[in-house]
């Protein structure tokens, strides 16, 4: 009972923070004609409830795709329909066809916020709790509660889900997939990840680690025996899951192709706006950062952009995927989720600033193993979304949740005492340097200094972005600065995570779990 009492307090605190943030502004509030992501979610409810399924992804007189046209997989559409059904029972005006466009009221805001709250309670939070109890390092009730508290207080997800407005379902399903795989429930893990992928196509960021880990397990068992049986079961499970999710759209090939065109609009190019355009893309990936010096969209065709981004992304994640396939382990799988998602975020095609959450949630899963670096990354990931958060009027929520998260991690994990090569999982790498190992004697001090410099820089830029008017000649100076500084951080983190993965001898041993 005491174990669950501590966890209950943790969950109540996390819920209180979420509800407090949700009382503030949301994306596009009072800003016609397009409003923002809040209106997009409401509009999808309007479309899915009032129109037949065959029209959900097509441009018609009743469904103008230029006005927040549905561009996520079928599971998002089904979820919108369920929310719309409930909304119709409460107030039909909320989802009335055409006339509900841009609808804003306090009761409707309460309804929409509650749907996110319920999604958190039903999918994401239970997965976090069970995951923390499953970890060997958090086998005691206190450690599990502390780990869960830090994960649930991660400000990036709170601010985007309960501030900006977004549902945590795809990340929640992916987390359930990791949890099931940690217990060797491979088929359930496959189902959970298929649900995540069919809710948001951005879950492709995590697809290669899931694929390589499960394939590696099959190889390890032997493809002429149990491994082949497992591979067949997993393949069958995936096919059935996709068939069920896509069944209403399988009436003809044009339906399927139209959905795919909406999910992957290649013609838009690497990103939808260039740096120092209006508005700036506010994106901390390599292409937007490079566009400050080189206007890539002006000199390279969309098809060439696609090939370039694919090649760079593939090469950046290839070593990690090979290592995971050859030496499958749960620990290696979790680190691969981080590395591969970060490669996708930095180098892939059409990335949104919110996509950094696809990297952050896997980082949350290893916060107990590398608390210092995980805390640092999670702070930077939230900072990278600052322009978006300021646009939504979430400055106060951003400042408070960042400070609360940093305080919780410092108090819970004593992160400044966890900066040795061993604590940062860099001991094998340092030993491989042989003659240069002596340099690592001052490594903890260097890392702590860099962390403090980084946090100070983020704090100063946050204050300047909120309070200082930029020069007239450079109106987007602060958003661009945030993006470039964040991108530089992420590139260094990518190198760090790849070093940990490739030099880690522990990945060759299966990690044991205890409940």
Cα 298 → chain centroid: 30
Q: pTM of whole model > 0.85?
A: yes
60: helix, strand or coil: strand
Each as own residue / partner, the long-range contacts of residues 264-271 (CB below 8 Å, 24 or more positions apart, any chain) are: 264/201, 265/71, 265/350, 266/302, 266/303, 266/306, 266/349, 267/302, 268/302, 268/350, 269/297, 269/302, 269/305, 269/350, 270/296, 270/297, 270/305, 270/309, 270/349, 270/350, 271/297, 271/350, 271/351
330: helix, strand or coil: helix
The DSSP symbol for 349 reads S
Read off the tokens for 249: 């759209």
Q: For the chain, what are the domain ranges?
A: 172-250, 270-505
126: helix, strand or coil: helix
Residues 6+ away with beta carbon under 8 Å from 83: 45, 115
Nearest to 280 by CA among 487, 475, 491, 463: 475
The DSSP symbol for 509 reads S
State how far the alpha carbon of 4 is from the alpha carbons of 9, 30, 270, in Å. Answer: 9, 42, 47
Neighbours of 456 (CB within 10 A): 10
Q: What is the pLDDT along the chain (515 residues), one digit of tens a residue?
A: 455 588 888 999 999 999 999 998 888 888 888 898 999 999 999 999 999 999 999 999 999 999 999 999 999 999 999 999 999 999 999 999 999 999 999 999 999 999 999 999 999 999 999 999 998 765 567 888 899 999 999 999 999 999 999 999 999 999 999 999 999 999 999 999 999 999 999 999 999 999 999 999 999 998 888 999 999 999 999 999 999 999 999 888 999 999 999 998 876 655 554 333 344 456 788 888 887 777 777 787 777 878 888 899 999 999 999 999 999 999 999 999 999 999 999 998 777 889 999 999 999 999 999 999 999 999 999 999 999 999 999 999 999 999 999 999 999 999 999 888 889 998 888 777 765 556 667 788 899 999 999 999 999 999 999 999 999 898 889 999 999 999 999 999 999 999 999 988 655 444 443 23
Question: So what's the pLDDT on residue 435?
Answer: 57
């Amino acid at each position: 009972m005491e174990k669950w009492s501590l966890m209950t307090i943790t969950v109540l605190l996390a819920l209180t923070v979420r509800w407090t943030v949700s009382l503030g502004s949301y994306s596009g509030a009072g800003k016609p004609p397009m409003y923002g992501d809040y209106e997009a979610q409401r509009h999808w409810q309007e479309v899915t409830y009032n129109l037949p399924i065959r029209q959900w992804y097509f441009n018609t007189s009743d469904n103008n795709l230029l006005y927040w046209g549905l561009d996520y997989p079928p599971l998002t559409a089904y979820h919108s329909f369920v929310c719309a059904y409930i909304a119709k029972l409460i107030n039909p005006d909320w989802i009335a066809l055409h006339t509900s466009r841009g609808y804003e009221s306090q009761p409707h805001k309460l309804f929409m916020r509650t749907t996110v709250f319920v999604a958190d309670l039903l999918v994401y939070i239970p997965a976090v709790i069970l995951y923390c109890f499953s970890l060997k390092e958090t086998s005691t009730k206190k450690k599990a509660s502390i780990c869960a508290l830090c994960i649930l207080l991660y400000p990036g997800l709170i601010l985007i889900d309960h501030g900006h407005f977004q549902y945590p379902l795809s990340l929640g399903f992916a987390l359930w997939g990791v949890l099931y795989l940690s217990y060797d429930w491979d088929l359930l893990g496959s189902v959970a990840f298929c649900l995540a992928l069919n809710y948001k196509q951005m879950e492709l960021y995590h697809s290669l680690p899931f694929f390589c880990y499960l394939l590696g397990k099959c190889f390890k068992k032997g493809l002429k025996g149990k491994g082949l049986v497992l591979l067949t079961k997993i393949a069958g499970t995936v096919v059935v899951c996709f068939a069920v999710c896509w069944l209403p759209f399988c009436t003809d090939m044009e339906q399927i192709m139209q959905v795919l065109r909406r999910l992957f609009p290649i013609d838009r190019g690497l990103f939808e706006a260039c740096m120092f355009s209006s508005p700036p893309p506010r994106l901390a990936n390599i292409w937007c950062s490079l566009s400050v010096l080189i206007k890539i969209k002006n000199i390279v065709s969309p098809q060439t952009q696609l090939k370039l981004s694919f090649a760079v992304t593939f090469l950046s994640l290839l070593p990690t995927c090979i290592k995971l396939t050859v030496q499958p382990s749960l620990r290696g799988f979790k680190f691969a989720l981080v590395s591969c998602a970060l490669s996708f975020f930095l180098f892939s095609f059409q990335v949104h600033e919110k996509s950094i959450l696809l990297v952050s949630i896997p980082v949350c899963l290893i916060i107990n193993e590398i608390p210092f670096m995980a805390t640092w990354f999670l702070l930077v990931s939230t900072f990278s979304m600052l322009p978006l958060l300021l646009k939504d009027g979430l400055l106060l929520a951003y400042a408070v949740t960042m400070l609360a998260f940093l305080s919780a991690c410092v108090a819970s994990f004593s992160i400044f005492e966890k900066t040795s090569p061993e604590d940062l999982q860099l001991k094998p790498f340092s030993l491989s340097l042989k003659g240069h190992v002596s340099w690592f004697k001052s490594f903890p001090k260097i890392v702590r200094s860099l962390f403090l410099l980084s946090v100070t820089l983020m704090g100063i830029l946050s204050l300047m972005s909120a309070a200082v008017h930029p020069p007239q000649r450079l109106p987007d100076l602060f958003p661009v600065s945030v993006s470039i500084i964040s991108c530089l951080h992420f590139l260094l983190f990518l190198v760090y995570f790849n070093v940990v993965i490739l030099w880690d001898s522990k990945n060759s041993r299966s990690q044991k779990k205890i409940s």
